[in-house]
Amino acid sequence: MSFLNPYFAAAVAAVVIPALLILYFLKLRRREEVVPSTLLWKRAVQDLQVNAPFQRLRKSLLLFLQLTVLGLAVFALARPIIQSTATEADRLVLLIDQSASMNTREADGTRLEQAKEQAVRLVRTLNRRNAGWRSFLTFGVAQTRTQVMVIAFAERARIVSPFTTNTADLVSLIKQIEPTDGPTDLREALERAEAYLAPPAMTTDKTPVPAASGARLILISDGRIAHLDDVVLKSGTLEFLRIGDTADNVGITALRTQRSYERPEQLSVFLTVRNFGPAPVATDVSLYVDGTLALVRSVRLAAPAAPSAAPARDAEPPAEEGSSASLSFDLPLNKAAVLEARLSREDRLAVDNRAWAVIPPPRKLRVLTVTEKNYFLDSVLRGLPLEEFPFATPAQYEANAAQAYEADGASRFDVVIFDKVRPARLPAGNFLFLGATPPLPGFPEGTADENFALIWWEETHPLLRHVALDSVIVAKGLTLPVPREAEVLIEGPRGPVLARYAAAGRHCLVLGFAVENSNWWSKPGFPVFMYNAIRYLGGGAEVADGPLRPGETLRFPAPAGIESLTLTRPDARTEKLRVDASGTAYYGNTDRAGVYAVDGGLPGRDRFAVNLEDDWESDIAPPPGPLTVDRQAVGELDAIRTATPEVWRWFVGAALALVLFEWWVYNRRVML
């Protein structure tokens, strides 16, 4: 504890306390009362003085009480403040967690609000001594002032304020910290802090290089921090101020949608709901299509078997039996829509009670076949449920590959089949090569081979499901010199025959022989393989983006000629996005979960759903035990309880209580 106004209070005390003492030692002006005889009174007084040593004390008890009251009042005048223990260092870094779990509603406000409040209280206890007009009382004695830096971090760290001593600025900046739905990663925050803490690399010979300063880093968080073991603390000391203590949360930890291949108007929704709270719960899971309730289902979830104390995020905490449920829904949806899943149960963390998915319109695949002439392919494709399957000769394809078959550097077709053709260039897209290799670096042409059977194939792979290759004899084919990262699915006697290879937006399936050069065309396995391959390649395009997490960058392709796009965030704010030279607008500030949509983007590519889908952040129960960073337990700071660090109220209150006590004592004294 220290004082803001010590000199003023000392001056007041120097005046007031002697005044009280003088008043006390001045002869009491006694009321005169005539009595028949003072004989017995004098005796009584003498007796009391002789017999009761406490009488003097008793007399001075009032003085003592009054002195104490005065002292307390003077103390209050001195404006005592509670200084946190974090003030000794002259440089202090506040690391404020703004990740998704900090949105948990505690008894009063969210965890982030509490963290901000604590940060403000911490900051307010600093640099009070010398502030303002009172500084003249210190006769200009310079005191070391604590420089404070504030970093807010979720997945990314943001410097809210560099080192400063300006408390007012710090407070207003801290108050402007906004919640995000991102995961927690302390590493970047620490790196940024250390970048500021490190002594300047370049110094003039006049400037002394400050010794590694004892800066203190105070982490204000709920402790749900991933990868803590990876964090290395290079300089300074880290302390932890723990926020939050509730654990009640049920969250949607995964939402996936898929259109049925055969019936694209049928949408399958897969949903994982998990209970992180300490008690079993029941909740309704509702599906909304464009805001309209479509389906509701109830789900009961048991409490997790053990308190969630997974030490590291890498070991994804296994969902205990019963505490999570996977639900699948089928609903007809023959248009583009935004699907929203909601949990009806109110819990402490709201952000994971909703998840969104942007559903593309139902679409049949479009398959381009580049071949001279292939009857087998023609007949197989005819039997598949495709939107269209045009054929092009290699000459036609090469002639206007860029114009007719490509858009935005990507193939216009969902799948392109190259039959015995190695094209000169390959746009982004999905390709099936038959008897040829893709023109990709690291994928040289294969070595010719004749008359071999297939030795091994990956039976469980979706591509080869229900495909029998036992009796396939290849008359003429290639052994594929596949790159290391390719996935080999079929092997012949001298090497891979079928490989899946994805690189730079190109997803290739390379078969080492043409159909007609084998007896495969006569087997029932061939159309099944074609079905699997087209579905596999074509379906992949749809889910290529995968689920987006907060903090990931959105990429909005823009129609040609448009310079800027208007983005509407989930919190209804709008932002202008500039379209760059390649015709794409990027948006990286996806800190909240929800649907991000742009006006005037390419249809189908103008909306993205960002979901939390994070077991780690949804598990809001604060980790038990001390936080370990860099394999060392981190000391914990106590939360500052009072809103203002100044505690004069306590002293005034105590003084009031003492006044009451004094009144009582006085009354007792004169009581008959």
Partner 1 sequence: MATAPLRKPDANEPLLAPEFMLKLEQLEILSRKIFIGRMKGERRSKKRGESVEFADYRNYVVGDDLRFLDWNIYARLERLLLKLFLEEEDLNVTLLLDTSRSMDWGKPHKGLYVKRVAAALAYIGLINYDRVSVYAYSDALTHEMRGVRGRRLVSQLIRFLENVPLEGPSNFTAVAKRFAVRFTGKGVVVVLSDFMDKSGYADGLRYLLSRDLDLYVIQVLSPEEIEPGLAGDLKLKDVEDDDLAEVTISKPLLDRYKANLQAYCAELRDHCTRRGITYLFTSTRVPFDTLVLAYLRQRGLLR
In angstroms, rounded to a whole number, what is the distance separating the alpha carbons of residues 357 and 142? 59
Q: Count the neighbouring beta carbons within 10 Å of the beta carbon of residue 555.
A: 13
Question: Which residue type is seen at 278?
Answer: P
In angstroms, rounded to a whole number, what is the distance separating the alpha carbons of residues 411 and 579? 22
Q: Which is nearer to partner 1, 33 or 321 (CB)?
A: 33
Q: What is the Cα 344 distance to its own chain's centre?
A: 23
Q: At closest approach, how far in Å is the CB of 15 from partner 1?
A: 26
CA distances from 286 to 295, 336, 613 (A): 6, 19, 17
Q: At closest approach, how far in Å is the CB of 47 from partner 1?
A: 5
Q: At closest approach, how far in Å is the CB of 660 from partner 1?
A: 20
Q: At closest approach, how far in Å is the CB of 106 from partner 1?
A: 54
Q: At closest approach, how far in Å is the CB of 661 from partner 1?
A: 17
Q: At closest approach, how far in Å is the CB of 131 from partner 1?
A: 48
Residues that bind partner 1 in the complex, under the rule CB under 8 A: 28, 30-45, 47-48, 51-52, 55, 58-59, 668-672
In angstroms, rounded to a whole number, what is the distance separating the alpha carbons of residues 538 and 414? 5
Q: Which is nearer to partner 1, 456 or 663 (CB)?
A: 663
CA 237-238-239 angle, 5° bins: 125
CA distances from 552 to 194, 239, 349, 555, 611 (A): 25, 30, 21, 10, 11
Q: Which is nearer to partner 1, 47 or 245 (CB)?
A: 47
* Residue in the block written with tokens 């003039």: 204
Backbone φ and ψ for 117, nearest 5 degrees, come out as -60, -45
Q: At closest approach, how far in Å is the CB of 122 from partner 1?
A: 52
Q: At closest approach, how far in Å is the CB of 666 from partner 1?
A: 10
Q: Which is nearer to partner 1, 46 or 207 (CB)?
A: 46
CA distances from 28 to 22, 32, 330, 600, 659 (A): 11, 12, 95, 92, 21
Q: At closest approach, how far in Å is the CB of 65 from partner 1?
A: 16
Q: Which is nearer to partner 1, 33 or 205 (CB)?
A: 33
For 592, the token pair is 């909240």
Q: Which is nearer to partner 1, 42 or 466 (CB)?
A: 42
Q: Which is nearer to partner 1, 196 or 661 (CB)?
A: 661
Segment holding 192, helix H or strand E: helix 186-197
Contacts 24+ apart (CB under 8 A), 333-338: 333/265, 333/266, 333/267, 333/289, 333/359, 333/362, 334/265, 334/361, 334/362, 335/361, 335/362, 336/360, 336/361, 336/603, 336/604, 337/289, 337/290, 338/289, 338/290, 338/291, 338/595, 338/607, 338/609
Q: At closest approach, how far in Å is the CB of 21 from partner 1?
A: 18
Q: Which is nearer to partner 1, 55 or 400 (CB)?
A: 55
Which residues make Cβ contacts (< 8 Å) with residue 85, sequence separation at least 6? 637
Query: CB burial class (10 A; 0-12, 13-18, 19+) of residue 384?
Result: middle
Q: Which is nearer to partner 1, 52 or 312 (CB)?
A: 52
In angstroms, rounded to a whole number, what is the distance separating the alpha carbons of residues 610 and 552? 8
